[in-house]
Structure 1
Amino acid sequence: MNVPPAQRLGVVPSVFAVEHVPHATFPEDDEWIALVRAPEGLTVVRETWPTGSGDRWIGLYGGAIAHGLDVPGMLAAIVGPLAEAAIPVFVASTFHGDLVLVPEPRAKEAVAVLEDAGHQVDTTHLRSSGV
């Protein structure tokens, strides 16, 4: 099996919330980052304020080095080590990369796990977010 190369990830400067809206097909506002429609409703990823309440997620974006959609294992190389460390993730993929969300309280641990797996993580925004 070919192992994908180590990736360069960056911590996104925003903090996110993931919301399930049953029976909806589109959100009532334009304040969303990503949408996934499924038979059971709509999943909405939104930016949230740094002092917001509820479950908050920190984003790691792996689009620093664009790769084709035909390159296998790129996402698995990121979520695999996180799964082994029992760190939950929520993923929103783009054409060029993947936004991997991890729970805010586990963000520093997630960065350490990814670095131990050989990835480079720019933590500039992690430090400034106060996490």
Structure 2
Amino acid sequence: MTTAQRLHIVPSQFLVQHIPNVTFPEDDEWIALVRAPEGLTVVREASPFSEAERWVGFYGDAGHGLDLPGMLAAVVGPLADAGVPVFVASTYHADLVLVPEHRLKDATAALLDAGHRVEN
């Protein structure tokens, strides 16, 4: 079994926000939501006017489902080894792995060195 993946850099940029003491956002402009006791984590597309830290995403183009172990670890492991922070939003078929925009080159190099294919 191989865990090398073909990853695409998602053309959008994202914001990762924490909203304390909220269970659902006031708008519907979100990509992913995670509700926790300390509040809500929201991933949304960055607007051109946002001054918050921007994140870029890698997304596998071949769905792997929930029963194939090691797929996420194969991506985040090399990023951790390279000192690149990540935020992950998982779907049924694949994982959206976000890295800070200013670390995109480092992240891409680490993934290529690990045997993944990275495409724009």
Tell me the alpha carbon deviations over residues 5-27 of structure 1, each in whole angstroms, 9 at most, x when there is no partner.
31000000100000000010000
Aligned residues: 120
Deviation at 1:52, TM superposition (A): 2.7
Name stretches of at least 5 consecutive residues in structure 1 with no aligned partner. Answer: 124-131
Deviation at 1:51, TM superposition (A): 5.2
Per the alignment, in what secondary structure is the counterpart of residue 85 of structure 2?
coil
Tell me the alpha carbon deviations over residues 67-100 of structure 1, each in whole angstroms, 9 at most, x when there is no partner.
1211100000000000001100000000010000
| Corresponding letter in the other structure for 2:42 | V
Deviation at 1:40, TM superposition (A): 0.5
Residue matched to 2:116: 119
Residue matched to 1:108: 105
Q: Does 1:7 align with 2:5?
A: yes
1:82–1:113 CA contact under 8 A, matched in 2: yes
1:15–1:50 CA contact under 8 A, matched in 2: no
Per the alignment, in what secondary structure is the counterpart of residue 113 of structure 1?
helix
For residues 31-110 of structure 1, what are the structure 2 equivalents within 5 Å?
31-50=29-48, 52-62=50-60, 64-110=61-107
Q: Distance in 2 between matches of 1:51 and 1:23?
A: 26
Tell me the alpha carbon deviations over residues 21-40 of structure 1, each in whole angstroms, 9 at most, x when there is no partner.
00100000000000000011
- Compute the TM-score of the two structures, normalised by the length of structure 2: 0.95
| Corresponding letter in the other structure for 1:69 | L
Per the alignment, in what secondary structure is the counterpart of residue 25 of structure 1?
coil
2:3–2:70 CA contact under 8 A, matched in 1: no
Name stretches of at least 5 consecutive residues in structure 2 with no aligned partner. Answer: none
RMSD: 1.1
Q: Distance in 1 between matches of 2:48 and 2:10?
A: 13
Q: Which runs of 4+ in 1 moved over 4 A?
A: none
Q: Percent identical across equivalent pairs? A: 68
